[in-house]
């Protein structure tokens, strides 16, 4: 076994251990009560019961009733619900099991990074990428949320690996070439089903194919084009074939930016300066000079990949950054799936830059990256050591006694046709089966649309009326249940 492969396997093992330790330290059996996870779990349960279109209709109705509807599509893509369906069938709504699945996606991503390093023979960059990703505290802390971030990271890098393994250049022939092209199409389908921005893989793959087309010598033209178009055909067959069972509800986001101010330059400034700290959490956030150095090194690394005709990954990264410029929301979560790519290109670029500065560039590069890894490890250790209780009076646990008792009261006393007004409507729908919406426009509007009003005591007026506003109208709102976190009102019809 080559020494380089041994180093890669050691790096994979160290990164795996780091993720395992983080899982044991970070993960608990509950979940913060908000909306995103609830819709993923709800869609998974609807898959099991065959009621996908009922979920589409119910969520569409809930968004129509809500005062603020820009925060959610009708449905999310079905990739994460597909992953959650079997755990949900076996264990029910068990957030520890769901988070184990999320952590498994991160471990699988590490394995894909390892395989890609072996494929490309970029031993040094691959080794450092594995270590930096495995010891990234920001990624580790994201394990405790049931979101699409880490599943999308997995299928994004799987699609890129499959694209790089398959080239219309005669490297593989016969059945192996066709099977590889088919696998690219399947990976594209799963990536798009994880997150909407997976569609950016299509232009990235096309650019990759065009850049390598001229090297496909000795292959008949018809066969070459058939192999080139096969991944898109496989995606189309899978997408259209599953459309009757997996309704598309996430494109409703296209109508939401009208409610949000968008500045492309402001967005790019935010994401480009936030990316270095997202990749290397010990770096300061929002520092322009840090961002210039980081992206300078990453740009040099992308040049190295382009020089080797590995076009898909650099193209996807650039396209995703461009998309974030017009995305209506600013959050570092959208950068998370890009972290392995950014770290890999930065490691590549560091080696390329020192190659022009010193004859012993390998030692210099390793020294710089080892210093960075030491800082990464120190940051990881401090953040793991200083973990605080995730739940407080504002961020309550959905599996806690107060939340579950309120939901049980609704299940017992509400009628199936009743509508519950609540700032976390998707969670109410998940646990009670009742239509729910956030209503905070006016007391009269609320009384007209809903039958019940569930208020968070400690959230002020975020997506809800305050208790004082409701109790100023005792003729409309009658308190029927209360605990330390929640108050439930029955809306009295005149």
**pLDDT tens, 384-398?**
877 777 777 778 889
% of residues, the chain, pLDDT over 70: 91
In this structure, the answer to whether residues 372 and 269 fall within a common structural domain is yes
Outline where 66-136 has alpha helix (H): 79-91, 95-120, 123-134
- Residues 142 and 331: their CA atoms lie apart, in Å, by 13
Least confident of 172-176, 323-327, 423-427: 172-176
In a domain, residue 424? The reply is yes
> Quick one: pLDDT band at residue 205, thresholds 50, 70, 90?
very high
Residue written as token pair 């109508």: 255
Distance, in Å, from the CA atom of 19 to the CA atom of 24, rounded to the nearest integer, reads 9
161-175, 199-213, 433-447: least confident range: 161-175
> Within its chain, how far is the Cα of 474 from the centroid?
44
**Does 354 score more than 80 pLDDT?**
no
The 10s digit of each residue's pLDDT in 246-288 is 998 876 554 454 555 667 888 888 999 999 999 999 988 888 9
Closest Cα partner for 137 from 302, 300, 275, 26?
Answer: 26
Tell me, yes or no, whether 405 and 265 share the same domain. Answer: no
Domain end, chosen from 385, 410, 433, is at 385
Rounded distance between C-alpha atoms, residue 123 and residue 141, angstroms: 28
Asked if the structure places residue 159 within a domain, the reply is yes
pTM: 0.92
- Report whether 128 contacts 369 (CB < 8 A): yes
Is residue 408 in some structural domain?
yes
In a domain, residue 299? The reply is yes
65 or 410, greater pLDDT: 410
Query: Does 430 share its domain with 468?
Result: yes
Looking at the structure, tell me whether residues 323 and 417 fall in a common domain. no
Please give the Cα distance from 485 to 479 (Å, whole number). Answer: 14
If we measure between CA atoms, which residue out of 174, 415, 211 comes closest to residue 309? 211
In this predicted model, what pLDDT tens digit does every residue of 435-463 receive, in sequence order? 999 888 888 888 889 999 999 988 888 87
Of 357, 385, 413, which residue constitutes the final position of a domain?
A: 385
The encoded tokens of residue 192 equal 């798009």
Q: Quick one: 376 and 429 in the same domain?
A: no
* 409 and 362 housed in the same domain: no
Q: List, edge to edge, every strand of the sheet that includes 419-422.
A: 435-437, 419-422, 452-456, 486-491, 477-482
Taking residues 49-76, report their average pLDDT. 86
Percent of the chain with pLDDT over 90: 53
Between 120 and 356, the higher pLDDT residue:
120
Q: How far apart are CA 367 and CA 363, in angstroms?
A: 6
Which pLDDT score is estimated for 71?
61
Reduced to 3 states (helix: H, G, I; strand: E, B; else coil), residue 206 is helix
Among the listed residues 153, 143, 131, the one whose alpha carbon sits nearest the alpha carbon of residue 26: 143
Instruction: Report if residue 338 sits inside a domain.
Output: yes
Locate tokens 């389908």: which residue?
189
Which band of pLDDT confidence, cut at 50, 70 and 90, is reported for residue 167? Answer: low
Angstrom distance (rounded) from CA 337 to CA 151: 9
Are 379 and 481 contained in the same domain? no
| pLDDT: which is higher, 163 or 136 | 136
Q: For residue 72, tell me if it sits in a domain.
A: no
380 and 478 both lie in a single domain: no
Residue 69 predicted with pLDDT over 70: no
Q: Are 294 and 275 in contact (CB under 8 A)?
A: yes
- Shared-domain flag, residues 441 and 376: no
For residue 447, tell me if it sits in a domain: yes
Average pLDDT of the chain, as a whole number: 87
Number of domains present in the structure of the chain: 2
Please tell me the distance from the alpha carbon of residue 337 to that of residue 146, in angstroms, as a whole number: 15
If we measure between CA atoms, which residue out of 294, 283, 1 comes closest to residue 137?
283
Residue carrying the six token digits 């005062």 = 67
Note whether 102 and 137 are same-domain residues: yes
Is the same domain home to 288 and 339? yes
Q: Which domain holds residue 200?
A: 3-29+94-385
Per-residue pLDDT tens for 73-127?
Answer: 889 999 999 999 999 999 999 999 999 999 999 999 999 999 999 888 888 889 9
Question: Is residue 441 in some structural domain?
Answer: yes
Q: Please indicate whether residue 51 or residue 440 has the higher confidence score (pLDDT).
A: 51
Residue 63 CB-density burial (10 A; 0-12 exposed, 13-18 middle, 19+ buried): buried
411 lies in the same domain as 362: no
Among 350, 385, 420, give the residue marking a domain's end: 385
């Amino acid at each position: 076994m080559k020494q380089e492969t041994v180093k890669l396997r050691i790096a994979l093992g160290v990164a795996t251990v780091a993720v395992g330790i983080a899982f044991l330290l970070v993960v608990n059996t509950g979940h913060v009560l908000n909306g995103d996870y609830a819709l993923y779990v709800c869609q998974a349960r609807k898959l099991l019961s065959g009621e996908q279109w009922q979920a589409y209709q119910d969520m569409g109705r809930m968004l129509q009733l809500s005062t603020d509807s820009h925060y959610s599509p009708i449905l999310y893509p079905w990739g994460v619900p597909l992953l959650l369906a079997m755990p949900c069938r076996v264990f029910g709504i068990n957030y520890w099991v769901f988070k184990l699945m999320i952590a498994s996606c991160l471990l699988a991503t590490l394995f894909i990074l390892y395989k890609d390093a072996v494929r490309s023979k970029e031993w040094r960059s691959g080794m450092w990428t594995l270590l930096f990703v495995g010891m990234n505290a920001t990624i580790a802390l994201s394990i405790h949320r049931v979101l699409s971030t880490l599943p999308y990271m997995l299928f994004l890098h799987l699609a890129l690996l499959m694209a790089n393994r398959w080239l219309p250049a005669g490297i593989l022939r016969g059945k192996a070439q066709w099977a590889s092209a088919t696998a690219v199409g399947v990976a594209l389908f799963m990536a798009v089903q994880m997150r909407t921005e997976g569609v950016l893989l299509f232009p990235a793959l096309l650019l990759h194919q065009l850049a390598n087309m001229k090297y496909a010598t000795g292959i008949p033209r018809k066969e070459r084009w058939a192999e080139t178009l096969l991944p898109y055909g496989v995606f189309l067959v899978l997408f259209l074939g599953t459309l009757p069972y997996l309704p598309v509800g996430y494109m409703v986001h296209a109508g939401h930016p009208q409610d949000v101010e968008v500045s492309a330059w402001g967005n790019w400034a935010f994401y480009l300066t936030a990316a270095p700290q997202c990749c290397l959490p010990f770096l300061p956030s929002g520092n322009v000079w840090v961002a210039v150095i980081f992206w300078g090194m990453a740009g040099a690394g992308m040049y190295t990949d382009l020089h080797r005709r590995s076009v898909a990954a650099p193209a996807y990264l650039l396209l995703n950054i461009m998309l974030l410029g017009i995305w209506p929301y600013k959050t570092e979560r959208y950068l998370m799936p890009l972290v392995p790519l950014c770290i890999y290109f930065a490691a590549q670029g560091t080696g390329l830059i020192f190659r022009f500065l010193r004859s012993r560039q390998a030692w210099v590069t390793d020294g710089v990256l080892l210093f960075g890894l030491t800082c990464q490890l120190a940051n990881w250790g401090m953040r793991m050591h200083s973990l605080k209780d995730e739940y407080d009076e504002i961020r309550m646990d959905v599996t806690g006694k107060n939340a579950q008792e309120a939901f049980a009261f609704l299940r017992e006393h509400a009628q199936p046709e009743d509508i519950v007004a609540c700032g976390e409507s998707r969670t109410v729908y998940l646990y009670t089966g009742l239509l729910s919406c956030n209503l905070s426009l006016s007391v009269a509007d609320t009384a007209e649309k809903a039958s019940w009003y569930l208020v968070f005591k400690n959230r002020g007026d975020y997506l809800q009326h305050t208790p004082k506003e409701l109790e100023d109208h005792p003729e409309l709102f009658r308190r029927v249940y209360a605990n330390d976190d929640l108050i439930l009102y029955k809306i009295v019809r005149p």
